[in-house]
């Protein structure tokens, strides 16, 4: 979420008077003559409308706390796993696809909330951070904890539903689901893998092979190596989001005493790594397009976005790079999925 947008939402959530729509109507202010004045609309506006408005603002605060701009990272692997199942088995169960998408989304969302809570309690998030849900008191820490617990419970409910909808073995489903759930918690909670430079590995595995394999397995009912291989370009691109995030936060993270990969390798190698993560997927798409089927060239349409991001990273204008890389991730992922759908039968490498 862009800083300015975030601030606007924060102002709306904690300062009702700042919001033109709400504030003007509810302020019991002082008029030009210095006398206390209740605006006429105050009396007209019903208590019910006021409660509805407060509920809306609270809901907006909860939605923003999830950092929905990052959801492309979990939706694209679900789409990829499902489309691979479609190519292999010839059909996809739409209900399973929907429940699987909700499961992965809520576990990702819960991971973001755990991140918000622990980064705040360890003093890592500050007034200039991207995530200011707790710093700006948009929500209270216990709200974030409760919301996170609610999402994890919803995730478990969805996983149970998947068990009944899919033919997947219970032990396989539990292994992958709880693997995803523990990664989402341990990224910043418990041992806090992010704080010891292991965050990148967690992201590469969970948002790549694990999520793609999960989406594929709930459709076909068995575990396969194929989705792991197809997940590689997407996983690299998703890791580019996190790496740009960590490069942007390098100084404040160092100050807070944590270690990330970006801190370990420094700004120059971070730029080299970002280019690697950004462009290697395109090399893989070129290989797939020339050796197998031309439809795999579709993701190359996003190359101009990647070049623009490379330029911004080079000029160290990091502010909005994670969000822009997430947008690229969504588009590249969708083109990748369409490329696979359009591939003629038998033209894709099936290992
Ligand atoms: C397979 C199943 C069932 C689920 C997988 C679901 C997923 C993808 C879970 C991963 C959750 C996870 C690791 C979330 C962490 C999200 C994250 C990278 C937050 C960013 O953290 P910071 O690096 O602190 O960035 P900020 O500075 O913006 O807070
Ligand atoms: C909030 C947030 C921030 C990120 O930089 C992410 C990077 C990759 C995957 C997920 C991410 C995320 O959820």
Does residue 29 carry a pLDDT above 50?
A: no
- What residues contact 221, with CB distance under 8 A and at least 6 apart? 166, 167, 168
Residue 219, both tokens: 């459709």
From 241, 260, 277, give the residue whose CB has the most ligand 2 atoms within 8 Å, as the site to mutate: 241
How far apart CA 179 and CA 160 sit, in angstroms, is: 15
Instruction: Give me the pLDDT at residue 345, please.
Output: 86
207, 77 Cβ separation under 8 angstroms: yes
How far apart CA 320 and CA 100 sit, in angstroms, is: 30
Exposure of 279 by Cβ count < 10 A (0-12 exposed, 13-18 middle, 19+ buried)? middle
- Percent of the chain residues topping a pLDDT of 90: 78
How far apart CA 106 and CA 161 sit, in angstroms, is: 14
CB-CB neighbours of 7 under 10 Å: 13
Q: Which residue has the higher pLDDT, 4 or 29?
A: 4
Mean pLDDT over 69-86 rounds to 96
- Largest Cα separation within the chain, whole Å, is 81
Strands of the chain (E only): list them: 28-30, 36-38
Q: How confident is the model at residue 19 (pLDDT cuts 50, 70, 90)?
A: very low
- What residues contact 269, with CB distance under 8 A and at least 6 apart? none
Nearest CA to ligand 2 atom 13: 70
Ligand 2 center–CA 113 separation, angstroms: 11
Instruction: Give me the pLDDT at residue 44, please.
Output: 60
Atom number, ligand 1, closest to the C-alpha of residue 213: 1
Ligand 1 center–CA 84 separation, angstroms: 24
| b/e 224-247 (16+ beta carbons within 10 angstroms → b) | bebbbebbbbbbbbbbbbbbbbbb
How far apart CA 240 and CA 272 sit, in angstroms, is: 11
Instruction: Give me the pLDDT at residue 127, please.
Output: 81
Q: Looking up tokens 């990224």, which residue turns up?
A: 187
Nearest CA to ligand 2 atom 6: 242
From 115, 163, 202, 235, give the residue whose CB has the most ligand 1 atoms within 8 Å, as the site to mutate: 115
Ligand 1 center–CA 184 separation, angstroms: 6
Instruction: Give me the pLDDT at residue 63, please.
Output: 95
Pocket of ligand 1 (CB under 6 A): 74, 103-104, 107-108, 111-112, 115, 119, 130-131, 176-177, 180, 183-184, 187, 194, 199, 202-203, 206-207, 210-211, 214, 242, 245-246, 249
CB-CB neighbours of 21 under 10 Å: 10
Q: Which residue has the higher pLDDT, 90 or 52?
A: 52
Does residue 209 carry a pLDDT above 60?
A: yes
Does residue 17 carry a pLDDT above 50?
A: no
Mean pLDDT over 95-104 rounds to 98
Q: Looking up tokens 């576990």, which residue turns up?
A: 107
Nearest CA to ligand 2 atom 12: 70
Q: For residue 234, which of 94, 116, 65, 84 has the smallest C-alpha distance? A: 84
Which DSSP category does 344 fall into?
P
How far apart CA 337 and CA 41 sit, in angstroms, is: 52
Pocket of ligand 2 (CB under 6 A): 67, 70, 73, 112, 203, 207, 238, 241-242, 245, 322
How many residues in the chain? 351
ipTM: 0.97
Nearest CA to ligand 2 atom 5: 242
Residue 333, both tokens: 């992922």
143, 197 Cβ separation under 8 angstroms: no
How far apart CA 207 and CA 211 sit, in angstroms, is: 6
pTM beyond 0.95: the answer is no
């Amino acid at each position: 979420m862009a800083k300015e947008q975030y601030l606007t939402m924060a102002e709306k959530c904690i300062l009702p008077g700042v919001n033109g729509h709400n504030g003007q109507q509810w302020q019991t202010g002082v008029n030009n003559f210095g006398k206390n004045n209740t605006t006429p609309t105050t009396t007209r506006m019903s208590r019910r409308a006021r409660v509805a408005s407060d509920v809306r603002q609270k809901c907006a605060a909860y939605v923003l706390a999830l950092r929905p701009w990052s959801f492309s990272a979990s939706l694209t692997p679900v789409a990829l796993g499902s489309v691979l199942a479609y190519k292999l088995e010839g059909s996809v169960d739409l209900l399973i696809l929907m429940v699987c998408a909700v499961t992965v989304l809520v576990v990702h969302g819960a991971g973001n909330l755990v991140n918000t809570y622990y980064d705040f309690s360890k003093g890592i998030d500050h007034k200039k951070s991207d995530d200011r849900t707790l710093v700006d008191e948009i929500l209270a820490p216990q709200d974030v904890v409760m919301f996170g617990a609610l999402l994890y419970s919803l995730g478990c409910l969805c996983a149970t539903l998947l068990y009944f909808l899919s033919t997947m073995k219970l032990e396989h489903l539990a292994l992958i689901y709880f693997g995803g759930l523990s990664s989402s918690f341990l990224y910043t909670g418990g041992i806090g893998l992010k704080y010891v430079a292991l965050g990148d590995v967690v992201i590469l595995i969970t948002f790549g092979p694990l999520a793609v394999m999960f989406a594929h397995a709930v459709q076909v009912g068995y575990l396969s190596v194929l989705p792991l291989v197809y997940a590689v370009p997407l996983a690299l691109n998703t890791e580019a989001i996190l790496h740009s995030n960590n490069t942007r936060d390098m100084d404040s993270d160092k100050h807070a005493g944590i270690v990330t990969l970006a801190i370990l390798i420094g700004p120059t190698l971070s730029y080299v790594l970002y280019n690697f993560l950004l462009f290697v997927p395109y090399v893989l798409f070129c290989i797939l397009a020339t050796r197998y089927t031309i439809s795999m060239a579709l993701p190359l349409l996003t190359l101009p976005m990647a070049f623009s991001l490379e330029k911004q990273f080079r000029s160290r204008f990091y502010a909005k790079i994670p969000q822009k890389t997430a947008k690229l991730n969504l588009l590249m992922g969708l083109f990748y999925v369409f490329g696979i759908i359009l591939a003629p039968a038998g033209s894709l490498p099936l290992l």
